[in-house]
């Protein structure tokens, strides 16, 4: 899913679309929601001036995720909020609402299973799907089914996703990052030398500063 937590929050706060938004720090509670609705009528009607800004944050919290507009400033997941505040102080800071994210996670996975029943759950915002025998899974190298999945997920949830199709899970995971957001990338065996081999090692899932 594309910037999953942040995208779910933008459904609740459409006035924040295209703005730098960071999710992290405290948790969002039903009491907070009730208070905000009582004050503004609905969360969608909250004025921009009413949102907390990242520049005023003090603490040891970390970013869970950020919108693509925030990522343009170098802000990213697992970064300390105070460091992010130096990079993008104007970003809106929203609390985490795991119950809401889990609900949307279940919804998008139900959509996938209806079209491609063989699914491996890899967390709240990511799955592996076996296209082998699914309807449309072999058309244009999987392009047809990937497009149907994107359209169905968006229709059911209002959320976008990026899909990588490849001969194995490692390559599919890498391909899913090629054209974000709302992208589809097909990697054929003959594409390895051109599309995969030139990539830095850190692009391989599981390899990074702690394992290299």
What's the N-to-C CA distance of the chain in angstroms? Answer: 27
- For residue 116, give the 3-state DSSP assignment: coil
Q: What is the Cα–Cα distance from 63 to 23, expressed in whole angstroms?
A: 6
Asked if 33 is an active-site residue, the reply is no
Burial class (CB in 10 A: 0-12, 13-18, 19+), 197: exposed
In degrees and rounded to multiples of 5, residue 121 shows phi and psi of -75, 125
- For residue 16, give the 3-state DSSP assignment: helix
CB 10 within 8 A of CB 53: no
CB 92 within 8 A of CB 20: yes
Residue in 9, 33, 110, 126 annotated catalytic: 126
Just list the catalytic residues: 126
């Amino acid at each position: 899913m594309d910037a999953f937590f942040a995208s779910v929050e933008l459904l609740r706060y459409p006035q924040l679309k295209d703005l730098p938004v960071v999710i992290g720090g405290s948790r969002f509670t039903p009491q907070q929601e009730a208070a905000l609705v009582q004050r503004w009528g609905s969360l969608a009607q909250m004025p921009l001036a009413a949102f907390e800004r990242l520049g005023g944050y003090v603490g040891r919290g970390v970013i869970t995720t950020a919108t693509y507009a925030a990522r343009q400033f170098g802000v990213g997941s697992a970064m300390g909020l105070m460091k992010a505040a130096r990079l993008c102080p104007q970003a809106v800071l929203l609390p985490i609402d795991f119950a809401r994210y889990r609900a949307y996670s279940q919804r998008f996975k139900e959509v996938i299973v209806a079209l491609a029943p063989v699914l491996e759950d890899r967390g709240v915002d990511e799955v592996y799907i076996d296209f082998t025998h699914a309807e449309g899974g072999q058309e244009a190298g999987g392009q047809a089914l990937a497009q149907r999945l994107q359209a169905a997920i968006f229709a059911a949830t209002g959320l976008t996703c990026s899909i990588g199709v490849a001969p194995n899970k490692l390559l599919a995971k890498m391909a899913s990052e090629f054209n974000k957001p709302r992208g589809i990338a097909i990697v054929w065996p003959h594409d390895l030398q051109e599309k995969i081999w030139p990539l830095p090692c850190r692009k391989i899932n599981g390899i990074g500063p702690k394992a290299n």
